[in-house]
C-alpha cells in the first residue's frame, strides 16, 4: 500500500516538528538560566535596600518570560496528551476488530499486542504520557493495517477460486456473495483505519507547527529585548556572564527603524531561515491578522448604520472610502488591495513573476480568499504596465467575470473572477 509509506513519512514530519520545538525550548531554558545568574549577580553587587526597587523590575521581566515559557510547555504537554488519547483509542479499535472479525488465528496472533499500555485518563487531560508510547502505538497500528491488507488479498484470492468453481456448476453462488460482502467490509475497514491516521497527522502537524511558531516568536521577542555580552568596563573579555546570541541591548533605547507588524513577526521567528512548511503556515496566520483601524471603522459604520460595502467592487473600480482622516494612505491601499482593488495599488510589477502562460489552467490559491481556484490569465494590466494574474474561483467569492472596465482579461463565471498581483498567488501543490 502506497498509503503506508505516506503515513510513515507524515508521522516522521510530526516527530521532526516536535524535535524542533524541543530545541527551541532548550534554547529558551538556557537563556532563562543566564538571566537568573545575572539576577543573582546583581543581588550580590547591589544589596542595599534602595537598589531593590530597580532590581525588582528585572525580576518581573524574568518572571514574565518564565510564565510564557511555562505556558508553551503546558501547550506541548496538552497536545501530546491528546495525541496519546487518539492513538490509544485507535489501537483499541484495531485490536477489538481483529479479535471479533478476523477468523484466521495466524493473523490474529501476528496483530495481537502483548504489551499493556497505560489506560488513557479522560478526566486528566494534562497528564504527561511518554511520547515514545505514541510512536510505538503508531508502529503497531501501521503493522496491523499491513497484516490486514495481506489477509484481505488472501481472501480476494479465495474469492476468485470460489467464483471460478461456481461458474463450473457448483451451487455456491451465495457463498461467493457472502465472501464478496466480507471482503468489501474488510477493505472499507482498512481504509477507515488509514483515514483515521491521515487525520491524526494533519491535526498534529497543524498543532505542532503553530506551537513552533509561537516558541520562535517568544524567542525573537526575548532577543529583541535583551542582549547579554561578555564585557567589562575596560573593554576586555570577561566571563562574568555566559554568552548568548541575544540581539538587543540590555538597557538603553532601541533606534531600529519602524517595521510593519508582519515584518516584525517574521523577523522574530527568523522567517527567511525557516522551512517552507513553516513559512506557509506563518503566511496564513499573518494574512488573517485583522487590520485594527479598518476593523474599527467597519464596527463604527455598523453601529451608525452606514454602508461598508467599500470592500467589494471590481478590481479596477474607483473605490471611495469614508474613513477617518487619521488612517494613512498606506493602510487604505493595503485594505483595498486585499479586496482586489487594483486601481489604487502601488505601481509595482513583479519582474521575477513565477507564473507564465504555460501555468494557465493550474490550480492555485489566492491570499485573502478562502477558496481554491484555477489560473486563467497571466499578463500585463490593460492600463498599467504591471503583471497580473487572473483566477477563477470554485465558489462565488470573486469580484468579476474576468472583464474589468470593458477589457476582457479572461473568461469566468459571474462573481468568481479576480485580477491580482502574482505575489498573492501560489500553486495548490506547493
pLDDT tens for 198-230 read: 999 999 999 999 999 888 888 887 877 776 443
pLDDT value at residue 202: 94
pLDDT at 298 over 70: no
Across 3-13, average pLDDT = 92
pLDDT at 242 over 90: no
The pLDDT-based confidence of 308 (bands split at 50, 70, 90) is very low
Whether residues 209 and 298 fall in one domain: no
pLDDT at 331 over 80: no
pLDDT value at residue 429: 59
pLDDT value at residue 243: 41
How far apart CA 89 and CA 94 sit, in angstroms, is: 9
In a domain, 186, yes or no: yes
Whether residues 50 and 138 fall in one domain: yes
The pLDDT-based confidence of 250 (bands split at 50, 70, 90) is very low
In a domain, 48, yes or no: yes
Count of the separate structural domains present in the chain = 3
How far apart CA 422 and CA 96 sit, in angstroms, is: 52
pLDDT at 239 over 60: no
pLDDT at 292 over 50: no
pLDDT value at residue 48: 67
Alpha helices by DSSP H, 112-172: 131-167
pLDDT at 137 over 60: yes
Whether residues 412 and 309 fall in one domain: no
Last residue of a domain, one of 314, 337, 360: 337
Question: Of 218 and 377, which is predicted with more confidence?
Answer: 377
Least-confidence region, from 59-73, 153-167, 308-322? 308-322
Whether residues 59 and 101 fall in one domain: yes
In a domain, 51, yes or no: yes
In angstroms, the Cα distances linking 367 to 213, 337, 344, 428 are 20, 11, 18, 12
Across 62-71, average pLDDT = 90
The pLDDT-based confidence of 260 (bands split at 50, 70, 90) is low
The pLDDT-based confidence of 143 (bands split at 50, 70, 90) is very high
Whether residues 305 and 384 fall in one domain: no
pLDDT value at residue 58: 83
In a domain, 263, yes or no: no
Whether residues 63 and 208 fall in one domain: yes
pLDDT value at residue 218: 84
pLDDT value at residue 288: 59
Dihedral sign for Cα 395, 401, 405, 410, please.
Answer: positive
Q: Is 57 exposed, middle or buried (0-12, 13-18, 19+ CB in 10 A)?
A: exposed
Q: Which residues of 84-98 are buried (b: 16+ CB within 10 A; e: fewer)?
A: bbbbbebbeebbebb
Last residue of a domain, one of 225, 249, 270: 225
Whether residues 19 and 77 fall in one domain: yes
pLDDT value at residue 341: 40
Across 95-107, average pLDDT = 92
Whether residues 30 and 164 fall in one domain: yes
pLDDT value at residue 285: 66
In angstroms, the Cα distances linking 137 to 86, 89, 316 are 10, 10, 56
Whether residues 333 and 357 fall in one domain: no
Question: Of 40 and 336, which is predicted with more confidence?
Answer: 40
Domain at 401, CATH number: 2.30.30.190
- Tell me the three cell numbers of residue 135: 510512536
In a domain, 240, yes or no: no
pLDDT at 32 over 70: yes
pLDDT value at residue 1: 66
pLDDT digits (tens, 9 = 90+) for 385-412: 888 999 999 988 999 999 998 899 999 9
pLDDT digits (tens, 9 = 90+) for 103-117: 899 999 999 988 899
In a domain, 130, yes or no: yes
Mean pLDDT comparison of 145-154, 252-261, 309-318, highest-scoring range: 145-154
Length of the chain: 430
Q: How many CA atoms lie within 13 A of 298 on its CB side?
A: 12
pLDDT value at residue 311: 36
- Per the CB < 8 A criterion, the answer to whether 339 and 397 are in contact is no
How far apart CA 166 and CA 158 sit, in angstroms, is: 12
pLDDT value at residue 146: 94
- Tell me the three cell numbers of residue 347: 505601481
pLDDT at 353 over 70: yes
Whether residues 219 and 312 fall in one domain: no
pLDDT value at residue 246: 38
Percent of the chain at pLDDT above 90?
36
- Tell me the three cell numbers of residue 249: 541591548
Question: Of 163 and 259, which is predicted with more confidence?
Answer: 163
Say what the pTM is: 0.57
Q: Which residues of 240-267 are buried (b: 16+ CB within 10 A; e: fewer)?
A: ebeebebeeeeeeeeeeeeeeeeeebbb
Looking up cell 476488530 gives: 97
In a domain, 68, yes or no: yes
pLDDT value at residue 35: 86
Mean pLDDT comparison of 236-245, 349-358, 406-415, highest-scoring range: 406-415
pLDDT at 248 over 80: no
Task: Identify the bridge partners of residue 393 per DSSP, sorted by sequence position.
Answer: 373
Mean pLDDT comparison of 66-80, 324-338, 357-371, highest-scoring range: 66-80
Which is nearest to 324 in space by CA: 315, 335, 316, 340?
Answer: 335
pLDDT value at residue 375: 93
pLDDT value at residue 86: 95
How far apart CA 421 and CA 144 sit, in angstroms, is: 49
pLDDT at 323 over 60: no
Whether residues 118 and 75 fall in one domain: yes
**Any long-range contacts for 317-322 (C-beta under 8 Å, 24+ apart)?**
317/341, 317/343, 318/343, 318/344, 319/343, 319/344
In a domain, 241, yes or no: no
Whether residues 361 and 316 fall in one domain: no
> Which strands form 387-393's sheet, in the order they lie side by side?
417-420, 387-393, 372-380, 363-366, 425-427
Range of the domain at 66: 2-225
Mean pLDDT across the chain: 77
Q: DSSP secondary-structure letter at 20?
A: H
Amino acid at each position: 500500500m502506497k498509503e503506508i509509506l505516506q503515513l510513515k513519512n507524515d508521522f516522521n514530519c510530526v516527530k521532526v516538528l516536535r524535535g524542533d520545538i524541543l530545541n527551541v525550548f532548550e534554547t529558551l531554558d538556557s537563556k532563562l538560566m543566564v538571566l537568573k545568574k545575572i539576577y543573582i549577580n546583581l543581588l550580590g553587587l547591589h544589596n542595599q535596600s534602595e537598589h531593590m526597587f530597580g532590581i525588582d523590575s528585572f525580576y518581573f521581566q524574568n518572571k514574565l518570560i518564565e510564565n510564557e515559557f511555562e505556558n508553551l510547555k503546558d501547550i506541548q504537554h496538552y497536545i501530546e496528551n491528546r495525541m496519546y488519547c487518539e492513538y490509544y483509542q485507535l489501537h483499541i479499535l484495531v485490536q477489538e476488530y481483529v479479535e471479533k472479525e478476523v477468523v484466521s488465528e495466524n493473523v490474529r496472533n501476528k496483530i495481537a499486542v502483548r504489551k499493556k499500555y497505560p489506560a488513557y485518563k479522560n478526566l486528566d487531560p494534562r497528564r504527561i504520557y511518554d511520547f515514545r508510547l505514541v510512536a510505538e502505538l503508531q508502529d503497531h497500528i501501521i503493522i496491523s493495517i499491513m497484516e490486514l491488507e495481506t489477509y484481505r488479498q488472501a481472501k480476494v484470492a479465495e474469492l476468485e477460486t470460489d467464483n471460478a468453481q461456481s461458474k463450473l456448476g457448483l451451487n455456491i453462488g451465495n457463498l461467493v456473495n457472502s465472501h464478496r460482502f466480507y471482503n468489501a467490509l474488510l477493505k472499507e475497514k482498512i481504509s477507515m483505519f488509514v483515514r483515521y491516521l491521515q487525520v491524526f497527522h494533519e491535526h498534529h502537524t497543524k498543532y505542532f507547527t503553530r506551537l513552533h511558531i509561537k516558541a520562535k516568536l517568544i524567542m525573537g521577542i526575548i532577543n529583541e529585548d535583551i542582549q547579554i555580552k561578555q564585557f567589562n568596563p575596560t573593554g576586555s573579555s570577561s566571563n562574568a556572564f555566559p554568552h548568548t546570541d541575544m540581539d538587543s541591548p540590555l538597557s538603553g533605547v532601541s533606534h531600529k527603524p519602524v517595521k510593519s507588524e508582519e515584518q516584525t513577526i517574521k523577523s522574530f521567528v527568523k522567517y527567511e531561515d525557516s522551512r517552507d512548511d513553516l513559512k506557509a503556515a506563518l503566511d496564513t496566520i499573518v494574512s488573517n491578522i485583522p487590520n485594527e483601524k479598518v476593523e474599527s471603522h467597519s464596527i463604527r459604520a455598523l453601529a451608525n448604520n452606514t454602508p461598508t460595502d467599500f470592500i467589494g467592487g471590481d478590481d479596477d473600480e474607483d473605490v471611495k472610502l469614508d474613513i477617518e482622516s487619521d488612517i494613512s494612505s498606506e493602510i487604505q491601499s493595503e485594505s483595498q488591495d486585499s479586496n482586489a482593488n487594483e486601481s489604487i495599488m502601488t505601481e509595482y510589477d513583479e519582474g521575477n513573476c513565477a507564473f507564465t502562460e504555460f501555468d494557465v489552467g493550474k490550480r492555485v490559491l489566492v491570499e485573502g480568499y478562502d477558496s481554491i481556484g484555477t489560473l486563467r490569465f497571466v499578463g500585463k494590466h490593460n492600463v498599467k504596465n504591471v503583471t497580473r494574474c487572473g483566477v477563477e474561483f470554485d465558489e462565488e467569492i470573486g469580484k468579476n467575470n474576468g472583464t474589468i472596465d470593458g477589457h476582457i482579461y479572461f473568461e469566468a463565471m459571474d462573481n468568481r473572477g479576480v485580477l491580482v498581483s502574482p505575489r498573492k498567488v501560489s500553486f495548490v501543490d506547493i
